Amino acid sequence: MCGITGWYGSNADEGVVARMVDALRARGPDGTVVRRVSTACVLGHTRLAIVDPSDAGQQPMSDASGNVWAVVNGEIYNHRSLRRELEARGIRFRSQCDSEVVVQGFAIWGRGVIDRLRGIFALAIVDTNTGEVLIARDRAGVKPLYYTLQDGQLVFASELKGLRASARVRLDYDPGSMHSFLARRYLPAPLTPYRGVFKLEAGHLLAFADGRCTVMPYWAPTLIDDGRGFDDAADALAGDLADAVSAQLMSDAPVGLLLSGGIDSSSIAALATRDGRPMHAFCCGFEEASHDERPFARTAADATGVELHEMVMTWPLLLRRMADFCEWFDEPFFNYSAIAIHELSRMARQRGIKVLLAGEGADELFAGYLWYDDFATHAGGSDDAALERFFAYVGLFSAPMQEALAGRRLGLDHLDFLRRIDRPDLSPVSRAQWLDFHSFLPDDVLCRDDRASMAAGVELRVPYLDDRLLTHNFLLSQSLVYRSGERKHLLKRALERHLPQSVLTNRKKGFGFPLLAWQRQIRVLATRLLDNGSLIEWGYASRTGIQQVLQQPNINLVWLLITAELWMRRYLAGEHIPTLLDEAT
């Protein structure tokens, strides 16, 4: 795991790319390399050494000819089998690093190498003979990649801070991006806060040549309706999940896991330790019993034999980390649970653990969210009516609410993005799964996990989003994955041999914080922070509108305004966030 950057064009400069890489140093504290690979291209890489930590694993890497170069962020779990295929074709490898199969594979298979990769990745391949650049992102969007095409030159980086550090990439604020954020609590790809700067979407690749970019999907899930019965589907799922966990234990560095006590993380704990492997697990709890998952995590730890380490998240700790939060997410971002992910990652790193497994993706694959009941129950009605129901669960400020906040007409449409990715031809539950997989999962959940863990120098892996498991199990027929009143019943059947009933029947809590218990402090912070702030200055809010939100019982609306204000004050006004927070508290 690491950070990657690159510049292709006549202005490519080693010093500029070095600044870009340095801005990503937290992603790869084990070494940095900047290399001019052609007169028109400079690549940069900062490394978190997990597979083959020797110097032979340093990037950028080239093929034997020196004409094809690559930088890779992520892990290729099937690199050994790909290596054997390539060696049979006469390729000689110079390292044991998983990333080398990318550059060597491109020399043999061209763009087809992307389809063969099983893993989490964001990568760039440069063919100096043809002048073609290829950048790609894994199927689920676990690893991030941002890019811009300016004056016919392609510039890319793992995070926006890499582009910002160049001091040459134009970052012109797009005022419409804040409306998207207020509606959805994250910015859906390909949107960013800046005009002409984009997130590469999950499962997509970009081909650049002759000053032009072409973006296209290389993978998309398809409805699986192969006639499998429930028991056969459960047996197949059990095998796929065991295989995914085994593949993702690949590491030359110690591996641990995040454990909440729910079925998702507990299943990974059970499968990771079934051969007697010792494993450290990390759990976040709260003083408020309504949100505290530590008792459930202890039950799961006892059942699976992992060694559990606990931490307690409090309001003072959350507040202390808010300035860091603004640095991890250099685009508007709402999800406060990132702070817990970061603290757990720090605990792991302090024990020498560089890799953590987590249960993300199971809700999307196996219909685990509460709102799937609503979708299934209200199957009729117009397409927009269904999207409004979906928005009610995953969104916050609808268009009318934003107009009330601003005190003026805005002409917004909070369903526009959902319409773009919608699949109304699917069954109600499959449709909701599709929407989650293509928006909430990559742009909220996985974005949270990547930034929060990588800021601590830890790679977070997600076995439920393994490529084979996705191909075999995502968008199974609704009758297999959904049963009213019982969530993830297919997954529970698949895991009956591995987990006790006390874990299988544990009620889902999610990674929520007890914001209601902290609402007095949150409302005080908001009152002081938002008065005469950037949201008012830019016309997103009026004082009257803010007062109305502060009186709302939904504390998430207040927190969203806080995060929006902090982002604007940090990245548009250039203010020092620690000082700002001190003054506001």
d(CA 75, CA 81): 14
Q: Where are the alpha helices (DSSP H) in 128-262?
A: 160-165, 175-184, 230-248
Q: Given this model, what pLDDT does residue 550 score?
A: 96
Collapsed DSSP state (helix, strand, coil) of residue 457: coil
Q: Which two tokens stand for residue 223?
A: 């409805």
Q: Which two tokens stand for residue 300?
A: 């799961």
Question: What residue has token string 């994955």?
Answer: 481
Q: In degrees, to the nearest 5, what angle opens at C-alpha 577 toward C-alphas 514 and 403?
A: 65
pLDDT digits (tens, 9 = 90+) for 306-346: 999 999 999 999 999 999 999 999 999 999 999 999 999 99
d(CA 498, CA 141): 29
Q: Which two tokens stand for residue 354?
A: 């560089």
* Domain boundaries along the sequence of the chain: 2-217, 230-367+409-504, 519-584
d(CA 464, CA 496): 17
The average pLDDT across 390-399 equals: 93
Residue 365's CB is within 10 A of a number of other CB atoms, namely: 26
Q: Given this model, what pLDDT does residue 56 score?
A: 76
Collapsed DSSP state (helix, strand, coil) of residue 510: coil
Who has greater pLDDT, 197 or 411? 197
Q: In degrees, to the nearest 5, what angle opens at C-alpha 245 toward C-alphas 82 and 441?
A: 95
Half-sphere exposure of 148 (CA within 13 A, CB side): 21
pLDDT digits (tens, 9 = 90+) for 70-85: 999 999 999 999 999 9
Sign for the CA dihedral angle at 465, 470, 472, 474 comes to positive
d(CA 221, CA 226): 14
Which helix (H) or strand (E) segment holds residue 308: the answer is strand 307-313
Sign for the CA dihedral angle at 170, 172, 177, 182 comes to positive
Residue 396 · residue 556 · CB < 8 Å:
yes
Half-sphere exposure of 521 (CA within 13 A, CB side): 13
Q: Which two tokens stand for residue 468?
A: 């084979």
Q: Given this model, what pLDDT does residue 252 score?
A: 86
Directed axis angle between helix 555-571 and helix 175-184, to 10°?
A: 150
Question: What residue has token string 């530590």?
Answer: 294
Q: Given this model, what pLDDT does residue 510 score?
A: 64
Q: What is the phi/psi pair of residue 530, to 5°?
A: -85, -20
Who has greater pLDDT, 531 or 512? 531
Q: Given this model, what pLDDT does residue 49 score?
A: 78
Q: Given this model, what pLDDT does residue 124 score?
A: 99
The average pLDDT across 239-257 equals: 95
d(CA 422, CA 411): 22
Among 242, 281, 260, residue whose Cα is nearest residue 497: 242
Strands (E) located in 429-582: 459-461
Q: Which two tokens stand for residue 184?
A: 């959805």
Residue 106 · residue 70 · CB < 8 Å:
yes
> What does the mean pLDDT of the chain come to?
94
Partner residues linked to 217 by β-bridges: 204
Model confidence at 379, in pLDDT bands (50, 70, 90)?
low
Sign for the CA dihedral angle at 354, 356, 361, 363 comes to negative
Q: Given this model, what pLDDT does residue 227 score?
A: 86
Q: Which two tokens stand for residue 406?
A: 């601003």
pLDDT digits (tens, 9 = 90+) for 186-202: 999 999 999 999 999 99
Model confidence at 585, in pLDDT bands (50, 70, 90)?
confident
Residue 22 · residue 32 · CB < 8 Å:
yes
Q: Which two tokens stand for residue 106?
A: 């491109």
Q: How far is CA 462 from CA 217, 338, 359, 484, 538, in A?
A: 22, 16, 6, 27, 39
Model confidence at 460, in pLDDT bands (50, 70, 90)?
very high
pLDDT at 30 > cutoff 90 = no
d(CA 87, CA 82): 9
Collapsed DSSP state (helix, strand, coil) of residue 256: strand
d(CA 345, CA 283): 10
d(CA 582, CA 585): 5
Q: Given this model, what pLDDT does residue 22 score?
A: 97
Residue 221 · residue 361 · CB < 8 Å:
no
Q: Given this model, what pLDDT does residue 212 score?
A: 95
Helices and strands in the chain, H and E counts: 27, 17
Collapsed DSSP state (helix, strand, coil) of residue 368: coil
Segment among 56-65, 129-138, 349-358, 576-585 with least mean pLDDT = 56-65
The average pLDDT across 344-360 equals: 97
Segment among 9-23, 338-352, 470-484, 557-571 with least mean pLDDT = 470-484
pLDDT digits (tens, 9 = 90+) for 263-285: 999 999 999 999 899 999 999 99
pTM of the model as a whole: 0.96
Q: What percent of the chain has pLDDT over 70?
A: 98
Collapsed DSSP state (helix, strand, coil) of residue 125: strand
Q: Given this model, what pLDDT does residue 1 score?
A: 62
Residue 232's CB is within 10 A of a number of other CB atoms, namely: 12
In terms of DSSP bridges, do strands 68-76 and 119-127 run parallel, antiparallel, or are they unpaired?
antiparallel
Residue 432 · residue 370 · CB < 8 Å:
no
d(CA 303, CA 132): 52
Q: Which two tokens stand for residue 111?
A: 């763009």
pLDDT at 304 > cutoff 80 = yes
The average pLDDT across 153-169 equals: 98
Segment among 122-136, 161-175, 286-300, 494-508 with least mean pLDDT = 494-508
Which residue type sits at 425? D
d(CA 447, CA 452): 8
Q: Which two tokens stand for residue 482?
A: 């959904």
Residue 251 · residue 51 · CB < 8 Å:
yes
Partner residues linked to 309 by β-bridges: 282
The average pLDDT across 292-316 equals: 96
pLDDT at 114 > cutoff 70 = yes
DSSP-derived letter for residue 507 is P
Sheet holding 32-38, edge to edge: 32-38, 41-47, 2-8, 153-157, 146-150, 197-199
Segment among 213-227, 302-316, 330-344, 370-384 with least mean pLDDT = 370-384
Q: Given this model, what pLDDT does residue 359 score?
A: 97
Q: Given this model, what pLDDT does residue 511 score?
A: 67
Q: What is the CATH number of domain 2-217?
A: 3.60.20.10
Task: Evaluate whether the domain defined by 230-367+409-504 bears CATH number 3.40.50.2300.
Answer: no
